[in-house]
Structure 1
Amino acid sequence: MSETDTVFVFSPTESTWKSSNQFPIPNRGMNFGDGLFETMVFDGEQIRFFEFHLDRLRMGIRILGITAPEVYSSDLEKWVKNRYAGQKLRIRWNLFRAGSGKYTPELNHACQTLHIQEFTPAPMVKKKAAFSEKVTLFSSPWSRCKTLSALPYVMAAQERVAGKLDELILLDYRGKVAEASSSNIFWRRGKKVFTPSLSCGAIEGVGRRAIIEKLGRLIEQGEFTSNELLRADQVWVSNVTGVSYLEKIDSMEFSTEALPYLFEIFD
């Protein structure tokens, strides 16, 4: 498989995915970012945290008012396994409102596409990180979802590249730590682990959920300043592809020793 996406489109009349490199233009995903996406990892046997992905997608379509009954009885994992057993893949599942129109939707049912690539795991260590000076996040009813209108993360990625950084940390409009440029963020001080509350505008990551469920009472969610983060012994970012430890934020250095309980989650 090349780096170019292999694309499939969901056929609601046949209730299956069909190979395609074309899709009607214009559409609401392109025009307004009126939809959602999930980035998933297939390990050769199953989609990692698939039920968590479904939960977030179902939450998103409820919030956006999109009708997609097939999401509630999805055979996607079985379909992927039948076609790609034994391969490690990165799968992007786009779901957006059908029709075109202007801001006011003409329809509410969903169009869906799959984009499939070879999987590349997260790097174990990201050596150089900093706080964003250009991107500020705001909480909204849909900020916890992965919406197609992902401009803050596009701008953050540009800032990260321009600064020759491996990671960028985003704050909310009040100066509270929210997340990283494409991941949720965690830090450890002693035995206690901390992560920002979703009230700070962070996406409700599936890796974040897995870590929170694993650590239970050892983890504290809250609204924290950058100074509180910088007092940590260890900092890491996570998404569905895995965990990366941050070696340095600005001039502050942190431990990058791997934590066994995190390895167990993403193994």
Structure 2
Amino acid sequence: MNEIETIFQKSPSGKTWFRLQNSELPNRAMNFGDGLFETMVWENGQVRFFERHIQRLRGGMQILGLDSEAIDISELLEFLTVNYPNDRKRVRWNVYRAGSGKYTPETNDVFQILQLTEFTEAPIIKAKADVSDKVQLFPTLWSSFKTLNALPYILANQERKERRLDEIILLDYRGFVSEAGASNVFWEKDEVIYTPSLSCSCINGVSRQVILEHLDRNSMPYLEGEFKLSELQGASRVFVSNCSGVSYLGGFGSSKFSTIPLQFLKLIFD
């Protein structure tokens, strides 16, 4: 089953999800990137870390002025349970503004699209990484949310591919470490875990939230802040996380890191 065969839509007036044959064109997702998305894992009859995904999605909808009442959590879970009871799926949930118009929106109603594909875990090791030469991130009201405005990440990953890297690290406009091409970044030094704060324009990743909560709950030392690239280069271990799991960086430029998995991360994502 390919991605086209597993795309479903729910319109503002729709009572249920239906197989998408033709999308209304033009739409505000295409014309303006006027929307948000969540990428989630469906397994064992539930969405992993679902409450955190919902919380982030609703926060982004509030910023964009979208009608959060359009999000029916129980209906979505029922749909996945009925159609994919024993499957393990990667679920991309797009929520974008209905209506047409130009820059000024005509409505706060939303269209919703589900794109379901087979779930693939993140590779355990990404051997070669480096910093982006082309892309810097800037703070906005929506920096921490996953919006349909993804050009910085498209350009960064295009650069990663051209440079034959396994991962690329992005800095903010001040030169502080922000995140990876499609993941949050962490590193370990002297048994302390470090990660950029949201002030560095990184996405407030759900996996990031879960990792920090685990560290806090178990009194494990960590620092969330603004760090120059030299801090990461001097680490003993570097890892990146997103909904697909955790990957360890084998090297960054001339720096080499340990790729021995951290046990607490296996407990979180297994």
TM-score (norm 1): 0.97
CA contact (8 A) 1:44 1:81 kept: no
User: Following superposition of structure 1 onto structure 2, how do residues 30-45 of structure 1 map, counting pairs within 5 Å?
Assistant: 30-45=30-45
> What does residue 153 of structure 1 align with?
153
> What does residue 262 of structure 1 align with?
265
Query: One-letter code of the match for 2:265?
Result: L
Q: Distance in 1 between matches of 2:124 and 2:21?
A: 34
Query: One-letter code of the match for 1:233?
Result: S
Q: Distance in 2 between matches of 1:108 and 1:135?
A: 32
Kindly report the root-mean-square deviation, in angstroms, between the aligned alpha carbons of the 2 structures: 1.3
Query: One-letter code of the match for 2:175?
Result: G
Q: 1:236 aligns with which of 228, 234, 239?
A: 239
Give the CA deviation at 1:78.
2.7
User: Which runs of no fewer than 5 residues in structure 1 stay unpaired?
Assistant: none
CA contact (8 A) 1:41 1:240 kept: yes
What is the percent sequence identity of the aligned residues? 51
> What does residue 144 of structure 1 align with?
144
Give the CA deviation at 1:43.
1.5
> What does residue 248 of structure 1 align with?
251
Q: Distance in 2 between matches of 1:82 and 1:119?
A: 18
Give the CA deviation at 1:231.
1.1
* Residue-by-residue CA offset, 1:132-187 (whole Å, 9 max, x unaligned): 00000011110100000100000011000000000000000000000000000000
* Residue-by-residue CA offset, 1:99-139 (whole Å, 9 max, x unaligned): 11111111111111111111111000000000000000011
Query: One-letter code of the match for 1:248?
Result: G
> What does residue 176 of structure 1 align with?
176
Query: One-letter code of the match for 2:242?
Result: N
User: Following superposition of structure 1 onto structure 2, how do residues 129-140 of structure 1 map, counting pairs within 5 Å?
Assistant: 129-140=129-140
Aligned length: 267
TM-score (norm 2): 0.96
Task: Please say which of residues 68-77 and 118-127 is displaced more in the overlay.
Answer: 68-77
Task: Please say which of residues 30-39 and 3-12 is displaced more in the overlay.
Answer: 3-12
* Residue-by-residue CA offset, 1:26-66 (whole Å, 9 max, x unaligned): 11000000000011111242111111110000000001101
> What does residue 2 of structure 2 align with?
2
Query: One-letter code of the match for 1:240?
Result: C
Task: Please say which of residues 5-14 and 118-127 is displaced more in the overlay.
Answer: 5-14
* Residue-by-residue CA offset, 1:214-234 (whole Å, 9 max, x unaligned): 111522110000001111110
CA contact (8 A) 1:49 1:206 kept: yes
Give the CA deviation at 1:81.
1.7
Q: Distance in 2 between matches of 1:73 and 1:46?
A: 12
Give the CA deviation at 1:5.
5.3
CA contact (8 A) 1:126 1:247 kept: yes
Task: Please say which of residues 157-166 and 187-196 is displaced more in the overlay.
Answer: 187-196
Report whether the alignment pairs 1:188 with 2:188: yes
> What does residue 109 of structure 1 align with?
109
- SS of residue paired to 1:16: coil
Query: One-letter code of the match for 1:189?
Result: K
CA contact (8 A) 1:58 1:72 kept: no
Give the CA deviation at 1:22.
1.2
> What does residue 226 of structure 2 align with?
223
Report whether the alignment pairs 1:166 with 2:169: no
> What does residue 25 of structure 2 align with?
25
> What does residue 71 of structure 2 align with?
71
Give the CA deviation at 1:72.
6.1
Give the CA deviation at 1:74.
4.2
- SS of residue paired to 2:53: helix
